[in-house]
Amino acid sequence: MKKIIVVISLFLLVFPRFLFAEYFAEREMKMITTNYYQALIDEDYATAFEMLFLYDANGRHPVDGTTLSNQEAKEFYMKKVVYGKERYGLWGRRKIRSQSIGMGE
């Protein structure tokens, strides 16, 4: 009887960790993504850059990161920000949504 109680209590202690492990990882990724896009909307590019995980797409594994120095990566990122602002206008949600459905302002 004691063995059954020990097994059940261990199961109840360990199983929820496996059940909810993905939930916490997904929640963390959602928060990072939300903070990144909010920083873009607020035009706080330094904060947005710190949220990014940069990696090279030329045959390297994403876990390996990038071969660029931090300064080169910031310059590359700012070129992309300028391109995005020129191409799509403001980063604000209303501007992006109106253009994405073809209505414009």
Mean pLDDT of 44-72: 82
Q: What type of residue sits at position 105? A: E
pLDDT of residue 99: 41
Residue ranges covered by each domain of the chain: 2-100
| Span 9-45, pLDDT tens digits | 777 777 666 666 677 778 888 889 888 888 888 888 8
Residue 91 has pLDDT above 60, yes or no: no
What CA–CA distances, in Å, run from 44 to 6, 68, 70, 87? 53, 22, 18, 19
| C-alpha closest to that of 36 among 21, 20, 50 | 50
